[in-house]
Structure 1
Amino acid sequence: MSAVGLHRVMEPKGVLPQAATRLDTDPAIGPDEVRIAVERLNLDAASFRQLREEAGGDGDKVRAKVLEIIRTRGKMHNPVTGSGGMLIGTVAEVGPESPLGLKPGDRVATLVSLTLTPLEITDDLMAWTGTSEQVPCTGHAILFGRSIAAVLPDDLDDDLALAVFDVCGAPALVERVVKRYDRPRVAVLGGAGKSGSLALAAARRSGAARTLGVVPTTSEKLLLDGVTLADVTSLADARDPVATAAAVEAALGGPADVTVVCVDVPGCEHGAILATAPGGTVIFFSMATSFPAAALGAEGLAADVTMLIGNGYVPGHAATALDLVRAEPGVRSLFRARLAAH
């Protein structure tokens, strides 16, 4: 029995569950495993966007594709984006050696990706329209000894808690990075999104001198202006490097010391690098990021910047995100607006 789930890998043998093409979803658990009765999936933004665009916005086609992926792979692992999401459910059974501190009956959110979580769906996703990131469903999922899960808070509704936990790694890492600088200027590309709003709130709380939210449309700018999470907002297509850098410099009076990428479309790497000051840091939270493009782009621009991959885990990340949602009305308002739109 492996704490990281090696025994659940069916193909190819020898890789970790995230890299596997198929996982074993047997509901019989090992000594350190936990079985979850699944209630809802939350597809990550990049994956859902790709699925929706491939299906031409047809919800039935999106639903069929998600079912196909889960049945073929034994997990929700989008083969195009390489990403998945996370889930909420109720603990059904806990192995005697599980270190996760969970007990049967706990309602939890998993804080590990669906790309490495054995998952079986039993209702054909019939309650889901295929038009939103949140997917009501029934089935079961398996957590390993080194998985992470959080008990759902009593003071937040499930939809909101699920959306927050899905991106809870973003504010914790932004907080850590911002504190390394003396009152830095922080730009968040995609500042009106879920991870973007939390990143802006975390940057301000952590001592940023000035925060900027960059968004692609007037409607998103109005949304972000309305919740006052950023000191200033700007319109720019993050896929246009020159326009993005110009917008950041005009709004902040120079390049950003910390640039955070929370945009769920590909092609935003070079704009983030160009908008960042020498010695600054770029944090990539989007699963649409091409890391070869980021590395080679920084080299080609002779950019002396540190580039970090937001891996979704920082110790205490769930508590940090929940605290921001509870303390910042603007974050709550933006999350609820996003949820209402779906």
Structure 2
Amino acid sequence: MSLVTQQSDPTGLHRVVDDRPVLPQAAERLDTRRELWPDEVRVRVERLNLDAASFRQLEQEHGGDGAAVRDAVLGIVAARGKMQNPVTGSGGMLIGTVEEVGPASPLGLVPGQRIATLVSLTLTPLLITDGLARWDGRSEQVPCDGHAVLFGRSIAAPLPEDLPDALSLAVMDVCGAPALTERVVRGYDRPTVAVVGGAGKSGSLSLVAARAAGAGRTIGVVPTRAEAEVLTRAGIADAVAVADARDPVALRAAVGEAGGPADVTVVCVDVPGCEGGAVLATRDGGTVVFFSMATSFSAAALGAEGLAADVTMLVGNGYVPGHAELALDLLRRTPALRALFEQRVGG
């Protein structure tokens, strides 16, 4: 039995076609029809950005075979009516042009406007019509033709005119991380902030956000010497530490040697098993922000309990009011950060 009715819901419940009452993110399949309910918006899709954890999983599963990765993404979207990796549970976001706006839409969008959606592909109805023919399956950014639907409670932002689309998409995909980092850092007096995965997109933005918010010391943690050299040259961290974040003792030692323990630890890596080390690297009374879809929140909670660690643990949900504007402004004001992103997008 379909739950789709003639009455829409701002959360998108009317697009769920499961036999049980769940929100779109938890649904097995969404309705992707072009016709709009009054509070919806249809977007002509130009490019998807797969989240890092999802892309890494697909790449590893298929041994780096780009064609197989492309077929896997096509299969997921065809089966589910959305892009939600069944292993990681994560998706990404997209950019496109507004095609049609329902008369009751509260989003303030107009036809012809180029936008980035700031809600996950895991809850966005998506139909791909070009077979992803322009994508080689070897990068997170996916040229695409098709349409997507936004709900009354969706979030979208106009694409900035002063930045290339690929760069804007890369920044806006992770803009929740620096915004939440800034909020947490402002709650301390010149804290020491460690960012695990500091050379990545969300990690580098979080380092810059922490410094701008008044951090007394920032520590970027990376897994290899090569990444350490990149981050050191960028100069966006006060100290750079090399450690496998999956090794809790090594991570604690690396952060300690770089000036820790941290008052605030931000986890931005896209591999599982980093929970214990993040807790160990954080002083009592500190805060750990998990901003990775690879995080096991049961492992984090039970691990902290087992260590008798008096830390606050936050789940970064990707949304903080003003997050897109903040992240784009950080990029504009920090040439070294922009260079890191341009290198990442170019790669």
The interval holding the TM-score normalised by the smaller chain is over 0.9
Tell me the CA shift for residue 339 of structure 1: 1.0
Distance between the aligned counterparts of 2:226 and 2:48, measured in 1? 28
Counterpart residue number, 1:91 = 98
Determine which of 265, 278, 284 is the counterpart of 2:284: 278
Read off the aligned partner of 1:299 and give its amino acid letter: E
Counterpart residue number, 1:24 = 31
- TM-superposition CA deviations, 1:53-110 (whole Å, max 9, x none): 0000000000000000000000000010000000000000000110000000000000
> Which consecutive unaligned segments of at least 5 residues does structure 1 have?
none
Tell me the CA shift for residue 13 of structure 1: 3.0
Tell me the CA shift for residue 218 of structure 1: 1.1
Tell me the CA shift for residue 12 of structure 1: 3.6
1:41 correspondence with 2:86: no
Distance between the aligned counterparts of 2:295 and 2:339, measured in 1? 27
Determine which of 184, 193, 203 is the counterpart of 2:191: 184
C-alpha contact (below 8 Å) 1:221/1:234 kept by paired residues: yes
C-alpha contact (below 8 Å) 1:25/1:141 kept by paired residues: yes
C-alpha contact (below 8 Å) 1:186/1:203 kept by paired residues: yes
Distance between the aligned counterparts of 1:299 and 1:233, measured in 2? 29
Read off the aligned partner of 2:112 and give its amino acid letter: G
Distance between the aligned counterparts of 2:344 and 2:239, measured in 1? 21
1:319 correspondence with 2:315: no
Determine which of 200, 204, 211 is the counterpart of 2:207: 200
Distance between the aligned counterparts of 1:282 and 1:93, measured in 2? 42
Tell me the CA shift for residue 22 of structure 1: 0.2
- Partner-residue secondary structure (3-state), 1:11: coil
Tell me the CA shift for residue 11 of structure 1: 1.2
After TM superposition, the structure 1 = structure 2 runs for residues 295-310 of structure 1, keeping only pairs within 5 Å, are 295-310=301-316
- Partner-residue secondary structure (3-state), 1:171: helix
After TM superposition, the structure 1 = structure 2 runs for residues 137-286 of structure 1, keeping only pairs within 5 Å, are 137-252=144-259, 254-286=260-292
Distance between the aligned counterparts of 1:295 and 1:12, measured in 2? 32
Counterpart residue number, 1:72 = 79
Return the TM-score normalized by structure 1.
Answer: 0.99
Distance between the aligned counterparts of 1:226 and 1:82, measured in 2? 35
Distance between the aligned counterparts of 2:346 and 2:279, measured in 1? 33
1:115 correspondence with 2:119: no
Tell me the CA shift for residue 195 of structure 1: 0.2
Distance between the aligned counterparts of 1:86 and 1:77, measured in 2? 11
C-alpha contact (below 8 Å) 1:34/1:144 kept by paired residues: yes
> Which consecutive unaligned segments of at least 5 residues does structure 2 have?
1-7
Read off the aligned partner of 2:327 and give its amino acid letter: A
Return the TM-score normalized by structure 2.
Answer: 0.97
Distance between the aligned counterparts of 2:343 and 2:20, measured in 1? 44
- TM-superposition CA deviations, 1:28-69 (whole Å, max 9, x none): 011000000000000000000000000000000000000000
User: Aligned-pair RMSD on alpha carbons?
Assistant: 0.5
- TM-superposition CA deviations, 1:93-146 (whole Å, max 9, x none): 000110000000000000000000000000111110000000001000000000
Tell me the CA shift for residue 289 of structure 1: 0.4
Distance between the aligned counterparts of 1:282 and 1:159, measured in 2? 30
Distance between the aligned counterparts of 1:65 and 1:11, measured in 2? 22
C-alpha contact (below 8 Å) 1:261/1:286 kept by paired residues: yes
Tell me the CA shift for residue 258 of structure 1: 0.1
- Following TM superposition, the consecutive aligned residue runs of length 4 or more in structure 1 with deviations greater than 2 angstroms are none
Counterpart residue number, 2:5 = none
Distance between the aligned counterparts of 1:59 and 1:11, measured in 2? 31
Distance between the aligned counterparts of 2:34 and 2:280, measured in 1? 49
Q: Percent identity?
A: 71
- Partner-residue secondary structure (3-state), 1:10: coil
Distance between the aligned counterparts of 1:256 and 1:285, measured in 2? 16
C-alpha contact (below 8 Å) 1:33/1:94 kept by paired residues: yes
Distance between the aligned counterparts of 1:335 and 1:290, measured in 2? 27
